[in-house]
Amino acid sequence: MQNNLSFFFEPKSVAVIGASANPGKLSYGILKNLSQYGYQGKIFPINPKSAEIMGYPCYASINDVPADVDLAVIILPAEMILDVLRDCGAKGVKACIIISGGFKELGEEGQAREEQVKIAAREMGIRIIGPNCVGNVNIASGLNTTFIKGMPAKGGIAFVSQSGAVCGGVVDHILDEGIGFSHLISLGNEMDVTETDMLEYLANDPQTKVIAAYVESIRDGERFMQVASRVTRQKPIVLLKAGKSESGAKAVSSHTGSLAGSQTAYTTAFHQAGVIEVNSLRSLLQVAMAFDFQSLPENNQAVIFTNAGGPAALLSDSLDAHGFKLADLTEEVQQQLKTGLNPAAQTMNPIDMLGGASEEEYAFALRVAIEKSDAGTLLPVLVPQALVDPVAVAEAFIRETRQSHRTVIACMVGQHSIHEAKLLLHQNHIPVVDYPEDIGEILGAMLAYRLYKEQPGGRKETRSRVDKKKALGYFDRLDNKKFLGEAETRPLLDLYGIDTVAGMHTRDLSETRVAAEKLGYPIALKIVSNDILHKSDAGGIRLDIHDQAHLDSAYRSMLAEVKDKRPKAKLEGVLVEKMYVAGEEVIIGMKRDTNFGAMLMFGMGGIYVEAFHDISFRIAPLDDDEIQQMIRETVAGKILMGLRGTMYDVNAVANVIQAIGQMAIDFPHIQEIEINPLKVLPEGSGVVALDARMILS
């Protein structure tokens, strides 16, 4: 049913349905863009009211076109589109870009209209981009179906956007900057072709070195993750998600008609799929530019070459915040630097050649560093000076670093007098930032991507260890109950091999003594009464009981205290529980996200979970490495791994995370499950679920 998306990118002929000779119309702009950037295919304006537009013969209907049409760009009132699409089907058009709005974004009526068009397109085997979009641009072939003013330079960034306006704004930003694109694609309402389809297509596009995406919502999250995980092994995806805050989500949903899913799930999914998420349009462009222009840094060491200390200090702060370090320059290197620089120059890194530094001094210092230092990244910084020509300095950067294989990012602090130098650097594939503080994030993203690619791609086989028949029986016995407490959740944990706390409900002291012997000291006592909510406030807890004499006195004193503090409470005996004194409490849970599926969580448990939000998330299934990462990235995990001197049973924790993920895959009607706290015992001693709850759909 699906045909190839290449008709959007490499059509032999394009019809503009709704073309106009009136320069006050957007459709005029489309025809003009199509005609003026060297597109070599045939162009057919369609409009019953004109015989010719811009020198092209114009046809009343697409059926009148005396040739095959691969791609139709439609810009007509929404209510006319269904008929026009049927004409396209009859003509054998392969792909349509529907620019017009008036669909899902307007609410119910528009949604119904969109649905009709979608069904018709599917029946006729026509792929659709849009509606409510601004078209696309293939810079290499000169194909431009948008009405955006200006054509980006040719380069390696494919820009994919769910907002047409963002496309326009981005083009306006880069037009004079020498930043180049391979494709620009506005997706609009994504009636048919989605951001995920585009990732899949662009992965194999030889013009595209990096994909930059602006996204407001992703509907098929599981497919997105599969595709993105594959694509990011080939080339980087840099992504900006709008609508992360409550206000932002409201803004997004009101203008696209899409429901936003959980923002945590988005961020988790992006991270797991190797997608580099940025938080601003500026970063999206800067990071994409760096991936396009430069190779990945070989290590986290950088050398700064500057004519001014202040910007170098700001740059150093920014490097530090993103895991980069200033490379140490040996005494020998420093001595060599001294031979070619101002005697007052600072030869430690940052190499500060002082305000008067000439292009020769920059060139010399770069040469020395390339020859003598292993730092993977070179960062020349120029503050415009009265007597220094920025273009000559830029030429030195280009000349000296061309053969170096190092990652080079330049900073030119200013605007007025550095424009020409910046353009020259961009044309020679050295990215330039105006403010030193921007470099850290760019390098951090590049290094993170390098490390991601060096990891082996995970297997993620699911290894169900559960007796499915028993598990089904368990769910049957729940009798459609939706909210399950500790006692009801426990049998499922047992089935998945998760240990629960050993405990017994006793009625009197002698029963309690027997239970304690059975469980083994030390034990804890807890009062049981439906009338007592907060046991510790009522004096109804005794911990750390080590022997029977202690038990007897603790039992008596606890009952006396409770009777004193809660004289009216009906007491129903005590709970005797095995004490795990030496453990750490963590939380492990799963919540099913509408977009991305089973989202697992791990973090600090007990009373601190809410206060500290020390939680990591992943979407199931996970391989072992991912589970280990998930544990390690929290403070709770660091404590388990010996932060405070004791090693806890991290492997047992990993097994519980694996089991909960498996449970979520085995039984899709589990909406949420949470073990809190899970007591983690010292290394080799396992874990114990002290409390748990579950929600079924």
Provide, rounded to whole angstroms, the least separation between the CB of residue 239 and a second copy. 13
Determine phi and psi for 411, rounding to 5 degrees: -120, 125
Contact between 134 and 148 (Cβ < 8 Å)? yes
| Contact pattern for a second copy over residues 292 through 311, marking x by CB under 8 A | ------------x--xxxxx
DSSP state of 277: E
Which residue in the block uniquely carries the two structure tokens 């002929």?
13
Task: Work out the angle at residue 178's Cα, subtended by the Cα atoms of residues 172 and 183, and round it to the nearest 5 degrees.
Answer: 65
Provide, rounded to whole angstroms, the least separation between the CB of residue 25 and a second copy. 8
Contact between 408 and 430 (Cβ < 8 Å)? yes
Binding segment (CB under 8 A) for a second copy, from list 200-208, 415-423, 504-512, 621-629? 415-423
Provide, rounded to whole angstroms, the least separation between the CB of residue 658 and a second copy. 25
384 binds a second copy (CB under 8 A): yes
**Among residue numbers 634 through 693, which ones bind a second copy (CB under 8 A)?**
635, 638-639, 643-645
Contact between 613 and 604 (Cβ < 8 Å)? no
| Contact pattern for a second copy over residues 160 through 179, marking x by CB under 8 A | -xxxxxx-xx-xxx-xxx--
Residue 284 or 694: the one with the smaller Cβ distance to a second copy is 284
Binding segment (CB under 8 A) for a second copy, from list 57-65, 413-421, 562-570, 591-599? 413-421
Contact between 158 and 208 (Cβ < 8 Å)? yes
| Element housing 24 (H / E) | none
For 197, 368, 427, the CA distances from 362, given in Å and listed in that order, are 46, 10, 20
Helix, strand, or coil (residue 663):
helix
Residue 350 or 686: the one with the smaller Cβ distance to a second copy is 350
Considering only 1, 24, 67, 567, the residue that binds a second copy (CB under 8 A) is 24
Residue 556 or 669: the one with the smaller Cβ distance to a second copy is 556
Tokens of 608: 């601190």
Provide, rounded to whole angstroms, the least separation between the CB of residue 530 and a second copy. 20
Q: What are the percentages of helix, strand and coil residues in the chain, rounded to 5? A: 40, 20, 40
Amino acid identity of residue 382, one-letter, is L
Contact between 218 and 266 (Cβ < 8 Å)? yes
Residue 12 or 325: the one with the smaller Cβ distance to a second copy is 325
Binding segment (CB under 8 A) for a second copy, from list 39-47, 379-387, 448-456, 569-577? 379-387
Considering only 557, 565, 594, 642, the residue that binds a second copy (CB under 8 A) is 557
464 binds a second copy (CB under 8 A): no
Residue 319 or 620: the one with the smaller Cβ distance to a second copy is 319
Four-point Cα dihedral 82, 85, 91, 96, nearest 10:
180
User: What's the CA gap between 192 and 98, in Å, rounded?
Assistant: 11
535 binds a second copy (CB under 8 A): no
Provide, rounded to whole angstroms, the least separation between the CB of residue 308 and a second copy. 3
Contact between 63 and 93 (Cβ < 8 Å)? no
436 binds a second copy (CB under 8 A): yes
Residue 502 or 635: the one with the smaller Cβ distance to a second copy is 635
User: What's the CA gap between 555 and 563, in Å, rounded?
Assistant: 12
Residue 30 or 65: the one with the smaller Cβ distance to a second copy is 30
User: What's the CA gap between 410 and 435, in Å, rounded?
Assistant: 10
Provide, rounded to whole angstroms, the least separation between the CB of residue 31 and a second copy. 12
Contact between 43 and 14 (Cβ < 8 Å)? yes
**Among residue numbers 223 through 262, which ones bind a second copy (CB under 8 A)?**
240, 242-248, 250-252, 254-256
383 binds a second copy (CB under 8 A): yes
Provide, rounded to whole angstroms, the least separation between the CB of residue 26 and a second copy. 6
Contact between 43 and 52 (Cβ < 8 Å)? no
149 binds a second copy (CB under 8 A): yes
106 binds a second copy (CB under 8 A): yes
| Contact pattern for a second copy over residues 615 through 644, marking x by CB under 8 A | --------------------x--xx---xx
Contact between 404 and 378 (Cβ < 8 Å)? yes
**Among residue numbers 317 through 346, which ones bind a second copy (CB under 8 A)?**
317, 319-321, 325-326, 344, 346
Provide, rounded to whole angstroms, the least separation between the CB of residue 141 and a second copy. 22
Longest CA pairwise span in the chain (Å):
106
